[in-house]
Chain A
């Protein structure tokens, strides 16, 4: 048994108050407090105990999760829902490597995170110490930047830089690796230190000529199409985008992560484009004579086949990251900078375009190829999403996992606001949804958070039901159970002669019982007729709710553009030879 000296506490107190001498860990927390950090998500371990010790006297709330991947997704969900930087802490070795999936997820979607990892003490780094992992090296391809702290007095500067880098420009995750003797050593530096970032600066606004050329291209276009991406949301350019669309009279399509950048309920909105986008968005894409991407990186889920993408149309690109210009699509014109600043300037030069005929054409697509689902089919995800949309008046924060349900949710939950949609886009990380919803609820405690998940993805990170239960977070998670890894099964059905392989989720638990085991309310939905009442019951309940939805087994997401194909190859319905 460990017996602490009665003087231990007193000594520690003296150290931090009377002599103003801090440990590295205390300096770290002071730095985090200065950044306005509210929550840190994570799990402790040997080398980070000094940091956890310092947390005892800190204002920052620590949220103990059940897995570091969950912690990282929570910080990600918190960041997406609030626009602030999410913070994660994990111990060295396996603790640190468990964060990698979450870091990669955040990196792909430009989410500001600061990940604090413990490290073996400096003298033994590189000598295979217990729980030593080169997380600095391993994480390099999936971070915006990273630090291995070698000097205790560097902590304030590094923390300042980490938050600045994570949250400015094109946001992204920044990892700070802290050797245990850096955390436990004595800090003798100061907090009033400048950043040392000579290679990191804001790009200057493009020239007036560039804006005039852009405006000219719009003026000469008869069929302009605006493509709104995540960048619009990150830079809070939704008002400017709306003004641009109205001024031009141009329809707007959005990416998966751009949901809410332009109200999907607006008459000029064509909703999501791409692989599982609306038919009318993709038809407009094929027919337009100008496409202007704002804060989107022409992902392959949008473009399909690059050689056939928007042939004949002028391509305009606005992005904050110079490396995105020409990476996938060679634009005719481009503007580099923050979407809001660029649009504010561009609006000065924009003149209305003649788009009457174009809007008629687009309206006919909407009329002829509407986004619908078959109510008679039985219990389906679209039906559930549609009902949630109606009950929440389209105002819930909606979080999804990855797979078929993600696509259906993006199709049928129209987002009118830029801060209500959370989904793992670039990475497509199964297991993201539920912990991200927890993070979103921490950040926005008074908002209604709905998480749509699948039986595959939910089981990857459902251990954080404990976290939801402890903190009484009123997250409503719908586990859509079809006993399949549905999206893979859909591809096998459509493109591999229906040879199912590795997709059968036999052995699923009763998710109501799982919820109950954590002290969480569970609701089972088996028939379309009970959807409304059961969802109302879930919304009324003050705590977390797991809704086990027994959806029909073999449902497919349409429209669908097969991978690597252009929008010309869009399938509106299942193939007939089936």
Chain B
């Protein structure tokens, strides 16, 4: 994993209009910011969407990115979450063959982490783990 200091999480509320994702993404791309993760989902009002972007880059450029995205007509607001004021969760969904070896591994992880079996049939097992990125990484399930 990259240096944690330069990972930023940015939240945007945007008008749900065609092209808005490209406008936002190009602000990042132009300034050499690599987007690590991007989630777009409708807000409670279907006319708006929320975007949550995790990206890597220097803090000075980040200031410009926040301002340049806020400037876009379709962006209602744009802000960065610093470490203190946000809860970060990474969700891992892992699909495995349903064989005895895997079962024993799952049981071990189940003991140490909050893992749920969300689907199971005779062929496959799907488990879900929602935790901090560090914990998900350390579980080594994916």
Chain A contacts to B: CB under 8 angstroms = 136-137, 140-141, 144-146, 148, 150, 165, 196-200, 321-323, 325-327
Contacts and interface: CB of A to CB of B under 8 A. Distances in A.
Contacts of B18: 148, 150
20 contacts: A140-B19, A140-B23, A141-B26, A145-B72, A148-B18, A150-B18, A165-B73, A196-B15, A198-B76, A199-B73, A199-B76, A199-B77, A200-B73, A322-B70, A323-B64, A323-B70, A323-B71, A326-B63, A327-B64, A327-B67
Nearest to B18: A148
Contacts of B56: none
B75 interface: yes
Interface in B43-61: 48
Contacts of A150: 18
Contact of B75 (A136, A199, A321): A199
Contact of A322 (B26, B30, B67): B67
Nearest to A330: B60
B14 interface: yes
A234 B63 CA distance: 26
A146 B67 contact: no
B68 interface: yes
A146 B48 CA distance: 18
B22 A144 contact: no
Interface residues of B, number: 21
A199 B14 contact: yes
A165 B73 CA distance: 8
B26 A136 contact: no
Contacts of A199: 14-15, 72-77
B66 to A, nearest CB: 9
A321 B22 CA distance: 22
Given A141-B26, A199-B76, A200-B73, A323 B67 contact: yes
A338 B49 CA distance: 30
Contacts of B23: 140
Given A140-B23, A199-B15, A327-B64, A321 B30 contact: no
Given A144-B73, A321-B71, 16 more contacts: A136-B19, A140-B23, A145-B72, A197-B73, A198-B48, A199-B14, A199-B15, A199-B74, A199-B75, A199-B77, A200-B73, A322-B70, A323-B64, A323-B68, A325-B67, A327-B64
Given A141-B30, A197-B73, A199-B74, A146 B64 contact: no
Contacts of A144: 73
Contacts of B76: 198-199
A140 B22 contact: yes
A197 B47 CA distance: 12
Contacts of B30: 141
Interface in B69-88: 70-77
Given A136-B19, A199-B14, A323-B64, A145 B26 contact: no
A571 to B, nearest CB: 32
A136 B18 CA distance: 10
Contacts of A326: 63-64
> What 8 A-B pairs are tightest by C-beta distance, nearest first?
A323-B67, A145-B73, A199-B76, A200-B73, A199-B75, A323-B71, A323-B68, A198-B76
Given A198-B76, A199-B14, A199-B73, A146 B19 contact: yes
Contacts of B72: 145, 199
A198 B48 CA distance: 10
A401 B67 CA distance: 33
Nearest to A325: B67
A144 B68 CA distance: 11
